[in-house]
Every structure is written in C-alpha cells, then in structure tokens.
C-alpha cells in the first residue's frame, strides 16, 4: 500500500507535466491528406509523451505559410507558427532537430519522397528580391550603359571593345553586388552620378565624357532587368558572347 501511494506521488507530477504539454495542431487539408502527420506526430508523441490533437482550425500549432520554415514539399515551403507554450515550442524544436529532420525525410509512402527537411533559406538570403521594373530597366540599360556594354541583341554591335557584356557579367556569382555598386567600381566613378548616392564630380575633374546620370529607382530597375538576363555560356565560342 505504501509503495502504491509512493508511486502515485512520483507519477502525479509527470502526468500533470504531460498534460501541460498537450496541444492541438492544424494543417491545410491537402497537407493532412498526404498522411505525413500520421507519420510524424506519433513519433514525436512517443518520444516526448505529449498528446497532440489535430483540429481543423484555431490550433496551438499551425502548419502553413507563416512562421518558421520547417520543411518543403508539394511545391512549397511549409512553416510552423505556434503558441508560446511548452508543447508547441518543444514540437517546433523537434522538427528542426536532427532526429526530427530524419523523421521528416523518412516519410516515403510507396517509395516517393514527398517532404524534405532541407529548407533552402539560404537562397532567400543570397538571391535578393528585385523590386524594380525590368522593362524600364532594359530601356535604361540600353540608353545609359549600352554605349559601352553590350546589353542584349539590340545593341550587339555597339559595345565598346573589351567592355564586358551584361550577359558575361551576369555569370559573376555576386553580379547583383557589382551592378548595385557599379558607380563606385572603375571606370564608372569618373562619369557616373546616382542621385542621392554619389558626390558631385570634383570641380577640377569634370567628366571627360557625357556623364551617366540615373536615380536609385533607375538602378533598381536595371538590377531587375539584369536578373532576367541569362548568364553567358562561358563554354560557347567567344563570338556568341
């Protein structure tokens, strides 16, 4: 008898603890239909002794478009947003942990890999979003940069000698960095003005050629256009560049 009550006392805190961690979860129908939840939830529950109830909406944990990116599949990146309670936090940490990732990658109904834990967040970080207008950017590239650089087929014959074409410069891994700062890279500073970014030309050193004057919006548009240019094929015969 004594032993039983002792056991009760020992187990009680655990039970309360487990109940505190219990939470609800919802996900879009097409997601739930894949059977993925039936694969991951029991594995998490087993490991952590936490019960998860799946709801249609208003849940403590929501798998969808917002929150922390946790896995990719069905052509999209899936995120988890959660209440700041123990269970939901634990679940999110678990999804991001090695064992959670292995569980995600281990879901292969009929041998098909439907979801992957490899959320490519880097891509967002390294390939910036260009908000300028690419159509305006093409016109600006031709009129402002096209007197030296070959921009595209339109001014193919007008570029100056050794000046690299836009398609060639598009092969630089950090092309957006270079285009975004072209005005400080030689030879441009001596003849370029970007409103709000550059100092006026020194009075004793006026530009030797017709100056290149653009706004920051123009530069955004040029970047957006350059983003659409296919990088030159460096393996192809030289004339085609």
CA 168, CA 239: separation in Å to the nearest integer? 12
Structure tokens of 213?
A: 């004057």
Phi, psi of 233 (to 5 degrees): -85, 105
Q: What is the dihedral of CA 61, 64, 65, 66, to 10 degrees?
A: 0
Q: Given candidates 145, 167, 224, 227, which one binds ligand HEC under the rule CB under 6 A?
A: 145
Which residue in 25, 62, 148, 224 binds ligand HEC (CB under 6 A)? 148
Q: What residues have CB less than 8 Å from 204, skipping those under 6 apart?
A: none
- The least distance separating ligand HEC from the CB of residue 208, rounded to whole angstroms, comes to 10
> How far is residue 208 CA from its own chain's centroid?
43
Q: Which is nearer to ligand HEC, 101 or 149 (CB)?
A: 149
Residue 158 in the binding site for ligand HEC (CB under 6 A): no
Give the list of residues 6+ apart from residue 180 with CB closer than 8 angstroms, or none: 219, 223
The reply to whether 150 sits near ligand HEC by the rule CB under 6 A is no
Q: Determine the interface stretch with ligand HEC among 13-21, 60-68, 81-89, 147-155 (rule: CB under 6 A).
A: 147-155
CA distance 235 to 231: 11
| Core vs surface per residue 101-118: b (16+ CB within 10 A) or e | bebbeebeeeeeebbebe
- Which x/- pattern over 161-200 shows residues binding ligand HEC (rule: CB under 6 A)? --xx----x--------xx--x--xxxx------------
Q: Which of 21, 43, 149, 170 binds ligand HEC (CB under 6 A)?
A: 149
Taking CB under 6 A as the criterion, the residue among 18, 139, 147, 171 binding ligand HEC is 147
Q: Write the binding mask 201 to 240 for ligand HEC: x where contact by CB under 6 A, - elsewhere.
A: --------x--x-x-------x------------------
User: By the criterion CB under 6 A, which residues form the site for ligand HEC?
Assistant: 144-145, 147-149, 163-164, 169, 178-179, 182, 185-188, 209, 212, 214, 222
């Amino acid at each position: 008898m004594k032993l039983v009550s002792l056991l009760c006392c020992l187990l009680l805190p655990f039970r309360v603890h487990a109940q505190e961690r219990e939470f609800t979860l919802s996900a879009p129908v097409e997601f739930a239909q894949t059977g993925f939840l039936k694969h991951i939830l029991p594995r998490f529950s087993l490991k952590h002794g936490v019960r998860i109830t799946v709801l249609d909406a208003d849940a403590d944990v929501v798998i969808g478009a917002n929150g922390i990116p946790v896995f990719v599949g069905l052509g999209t990146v899936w995120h988890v947003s959660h209440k700041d309670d123990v269970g939901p936090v634990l679940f999110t940490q678990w999804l991001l942990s090695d064992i959670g990732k292995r569980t995600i990658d281990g879901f292969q109904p009929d041998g098909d890999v439907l979801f992957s834990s490899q959320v490519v967040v880097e891509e967002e970080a390294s390939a910036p979003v260009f908000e300028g207008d690419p159509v305006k950017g093409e016109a600006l590239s031709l009129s402002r940069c096209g007197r030296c650089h070959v921009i595209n087929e339109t001014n193919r014959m007008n570029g100056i000698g050794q000046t690299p074409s836009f398609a060639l410069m598009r092969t630089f891994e950090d092309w957006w960095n270079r285009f975004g700062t072209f005005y400080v890279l030689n030879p441009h500073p001596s003849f370029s003005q970007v409103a709000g970014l550059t100092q006026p030309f020194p009075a004793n050193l006026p530009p030797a050629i017709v100056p290149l004057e653009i706004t920051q919006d123009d530069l955004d548009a040029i970047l957006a256009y350059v983003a659409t240019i296919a990088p030159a094929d460096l393996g192809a015969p030289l004339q085609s560049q």
